[in-house]
Amino acid sequence: MTLQDPLVGQVLDGRYRVDARIAVGGMATVYRALDVRLDRVLALKVMHPALAADGAFVERFIREAKSVARLAHPNVVQVFDQGTDGTYVYLAMEYIAGCTLRDVLRERGALQPRAALDILEPVLAALGAAHRAGFVHRDMKPENVLIGDDGRVKVADFGLVRSVDSVTNTTGAVLGTVAYLAPEQVESGAADPRVDVYACGVVLYEMLTGEKPHDGDSPAVILYKHLHENVPAPSVTVPGLAYELDELVALGTARNPEVRPYDAVALLAAVREARGRLSDAQLDAVPPQALSQAHDIAEDRTSVIPRSLTVPRPLPVNEEDEGVLRTSPFEAPPAAPDRRRGGRRSRRGLVTLIVAVLIVLGAGAGVWYINSGQFTKVPPLLAKTQAQATARLKEAGLDVRSVEHAYSDTVKRGTVISTDPAAGARIRSNDSVTLTVSDGPETVNVPDVQGRTLARAKALLRADGLEPGMVTREFSDDVPKGSVISTDPGAGSKRHAGAAVAFVVSKGSPVDVPDVTGDSLDDARQGLQEAGLKVTVSATEVSSQYDQGQVAQQTPAGDAQAAQGDTVTLTLSKGPEMVEVPNVVGAGVDAATKLLEQSGFQVKEDRGLLGLFGNTVKKQSVDAGEQAPKGSTITITIR
């Protein structure tokens, strides 16, 4: 019997109706919920109550919301809101209908290389945006890669996000998921963008092979392997995989962080270059059926891992492997016996095959040379500097036709974004290629417009490639009315071209508005003008307690604050509304009072000594049938 989750059916913070539980993690539970204000389905991530009592975890949880809210990237799960409701601390996030990469791997095992790269590239683009914004994810794994029903790939769960510039050297514990921890995380807890690169290398290995690179009977064994063993080439598990894929895994999972790409943007460039070298057959290679293996879901959860588990322990060594060491992640693996059925193909058989092929094709060799010898292929140049790309083209017998420039959020400034024709395209020898070189992210410095008029500030903003945003107004004793007090983001901040900048504009020094209700129009006008305010009179008059021609209402009201030069609107009285007084003599006190009040009058009782215990109205101050101002007081005498 499954117990009902106590949160399902509740409404958190008076806004988020929890409809169903989606997933349970090491630190939080994720629910599908409905924002009842906006009628929008979203994901609600609620921290486990036991952790909500820990200030450090709550701080980390809130940091996730603030960090991800700053990442406007199509491959990052958007965070809408953060808050608390009693013991519940929550994030309201974008809901992605679909599944996680972990779900895909459990169902299908190893993926085709094309599918693996199609998933990896948007993941790296999302992490690259985070890295360039100054953040490290620190917990990349298949559970945090969401694949929507529409095919979109998004990175979620920035729960362990940390500033790139911050130092993380914990002595008691390591935060993360065992299978994806980089060696430097295991050793010291230190984390920079390269730990995300390492985790992505492990994820790529897992997508290509259907299994994790390091296994063991305990977390300690797995951590030891991260420290002391290279991630094996995926082609060891899946024979026939292209060597470029082995290179990518070796590059991303290098145990020495100095050998790894410095961030996800750099790894993304390497992935795209490797893809450009792969044929369609290599990209669409069908992996063998994934090996059946027990899967410990606990291994995939984010954990607080005691540092004592990371102390190196001796492991059995296979003596036959001693002395075999790959010195570079790009060095070809040492020769090994062919594991394919039938053993190694004999050299004599290979020679015989080659001779047979040459005999068959010999007659056409001259034609092949004439038709193909005049052509070459455009070499892959992605992420090469302009000088490197030019040299590479010359080596291939090609020239640079022209160099164009474009902004890029993912390709390093000064390196090649693309070529025309594209890499791998068939092109005549001695032909030329157009290079498109990255100018880096298109960023603009927000100009200093403090003290400028709003119109001038907007013009300066547009001239610098930015757009004027929302305008709010505040009182200021220092900045003249109509001039800019500040901008958000502030002057000197870097923003993408076309980004909006909000203004705070001065309303001038505040002025206390005098209360002129009940004054004549002339007196009211004089008092307001002396306070530095302008006056306008409404064309409509209203009935009020004040005499005709006196001020009945004013906007803004008396004692409010306005800016000097602001306008106060006055509404004049047309005198009180006259109402016929009903007859209440002889009636009981309660009935008389009710009738008079319903007619719009105030009621005052006059009992005297004789009426202390009476309950009958003997007299009324205004006779029945006469007219009296509505709201005026009628006195009833009781005996």
Q: Residues 410, 125: contact at Cβ < 8 Å?
A: yes
Across the chain, mean pLDDT equals 80
Task: Note the pLDDT of residue 3.
Answer: 58
| Cα gap 247→234, rounded to integer Å | 10
| Cα gap 160→144, rounded to integer Å | 12
Task: Note the pLDDT of residue 168.
Answer: 38
Secondary structure of residue 205 in the 3-state scheme: helix
Find the catalytic residue in 139, 192, 246, 519.
139
List b or e across 203-242, with b for residues whose CB sees 16 or more CB atoms inside 10 angstroms. Answer: bbbbbbbbbbbbebeebbebbbbbbeeebbbbbebbeebb
| Cα gap 14→31, rounded to integer Å | 16
| Cα gap 400→420, rounded to integer Å | 10
pLDDT at 330 over 70: no
Task: State which amino acid sits at residue 176.
Answer: G
Residues in contact with 383: Cβ distance below 8 Å, sequence separation at least 6, in sequence order: 266, 269, 270, 272, 273, 411, 412, 415, 416
| Cα gap 300→401, rounded to integer Å | 51
Task: Note the pLDDT of residue 590.
Answer: 92
Q: What is the mean pLDDT of residues 40-46?
A: 92
Q: Residues 628, 582: contact at Cβ < 8 Å?
A: no
pLDDT at 27 over 90: no
Q: How far is CA 213 from CA 142, 204, 251, in A?
A: 14, 10, 14
Whose CA is closest to 513, among 477, 558, 551, 555? 558
Q: How far is CA 415 from CA 6, 209, 436, in A?
A: 54, 32, 8
Task: Note the pLDDT of residue 289.
Answer: 57
pLDDT in tens, 85-109: 888 888 899 999 888 999 899 988 9
Phi, psi of 563 (to 5 degrees): -85, 150
| Cα gap 521→254, rounded to integer Å | 85
| Cα gap 112→131, rounded to integer Å | 28
Tokens (6 digits) for 621: 């101050």
Please give the DSSP secondary-structure letter assigned to residue 180: G
Q: What is the mean pLDDT of residues 158-184?
A: 59
| Cα gap 30→100, rounded to integer Å | 13
Kindly give the pairing relationship between strand 633-638 and strand 303-306: unpaired
Q: Residues 453, 461: contact at Cβ < 8 Å?
A: no
Q: What is the pTM of this model?
A: 0.48
Whose CA is closest to 528, among 562, 503, 573, 505? 562
Q: Is 509 left (phi over 0), alpha (psi -120 to 50) or beta?
A: beta
Find residue 12's DSSP bridge partners.
Answer: 16
| Cα gap 64→137, rounded to integer Å | 10
pLDDT in tens, 270-323: 999 999 999 999 999 888 754 434 444 445 555 445 444 444 433 333 333 332
Task: Note the pLDDT of residue 302.
Answer: 53
Task: Note the pLDDT of residue 259.
Answer: 87
Task: State which amino acid sits at residue 477.
Answer: D
pLDDT at 186 over 50: yes
pLDDT at 195 over 90: yes
| Cα gap 638→511, rounded to integer Å | 51
Q: Residues 9, 34: contact at Cβ < 8 Å?
A: no
Find residue 263's DSSP bridge partners.
Answer: none
Q: Residues 511, 533: contact at Cβ < 8 Å?
A: yes
Q: What is the mean pLDDT of residues 505-512?
A: 89
Lowest-pLDDT range of 34-38, 322-326, 593-597: 322-326
Task: Note the pLDDT of residue 144.
Answer: 92
pLDDT in tens, 391-417: 889 888 899 998 898 887 677 778 898
Secondary structure of residue 575 in the 3-state scheme: coil
pLDDT band at 483 (very low <50, low <70, confident <90, very high): very high
Name the residue with higher pLDDT: 493 or 332: 493
Residue in this structure with the two tokens 């005026």, named with its chain if needed? 632
Task: Note the pLDDT of residue 64.
Answer: 64
pLDDT band at 438 (very low <50, low <70, confident <90, very high): confident
Q: What is the mean pLDDT of residues 467-487?
A: 89
Q: State the sign of the Cα–Cα–Cα–Cα dihedral 546, 551, 555, 560.
A: negative
Residue in this structure with the two tokens 């095959």, named with its chain if needed? 353
Name the residue with higher pLDDT: 48 or 603: 603
Name the residue with higher pLDDT: 212 or 498: 212
Nearest-Å Rg of the Cα atoms of the chain is 39
Task: Note the pLDDT of residue 337.
Answer: 38
| Cα gap 133→52, rounded to integer Å | 28
Q: Which helix (H) or strand (E) holds 211?
A: none
| Cα gap 395→8, rounded to integer Å | 65
Q: What is the mean pLDDT of residues 473-479?
A: 89
Active-site residue 139, yes or no?
yes
Task: Note the pLDDT of residue 110.
Answer: 93
pLDDT at 116 over 90: yes
Task: State which amino acid sits at residue 442.
Answer: E
| 412: Cα separation from own chain's centroid | 22
| Cα gap 560→512, rounded to integer Å | 6
> 113-132 and 193-209 are packed helices; what angle lies between their axes, rounded to 10 degrees?
170
Q: DSSP letters of 303-361?
A: EEEEGGGGS-------GGGTT---SSTTSPPPP----STT-SPPHHHHHHHHHHHHHHH
Secondary structure of residue 90 in the 3-state scheme: strand
- Give all domains of the chain, ordered by start, each with its CATH number: 11-94 (3.30.200.20), 98-310 (1.10.510.10), 376-438 (3.30.10.20), 443-506 (3.30.10.20), 510-572 (3.30.10.20), 578-638 (3.30.10.20)
pLDDT at 370 over 60: no
Q: Which helix (H) or strand (E) holds 74?
A: none
Please give the DSSP secondary-structure letter assigned to residue 398: -
pLDDT in tens, 235-248: 888 988 998 999 99
Kindly give the pairing relationship between strand 432-438 and strand 399-406: parallel
Task: Note the pLDDT of residue 23.
Answer: 84
| Cα gap 605→397, rounded to integer Å | 112
Tokens (6 digits) for 154: 């998004």
Whose CA is closest to 144, among 196, 108, 193? 196
Lowest-pLDDT range of 55-59, 262-266, 397-401, 404-408: 55-59
Residues in contact with 114: Cβ distance below 8 Å, sequence separation at least 6, in sequence order: 283, 284
| Cα gap 136→495, rounded to integer Å | 20
Whose CA is closest to 506, among 532, 470, 481? 481
Share of the chain above pLDDT 70, in %: 82
Name the residue with higher pLDDT: 129 or 301: 129
**What's the residue count for the chain?**
639
Cβ atoms within 10 Å, residue 611: 18
pLDDT in tens, 346-368: 444 443 444 344 433 443 433 33
Alpha helices in 481-619 (DSSP H): 521-530, 589-598
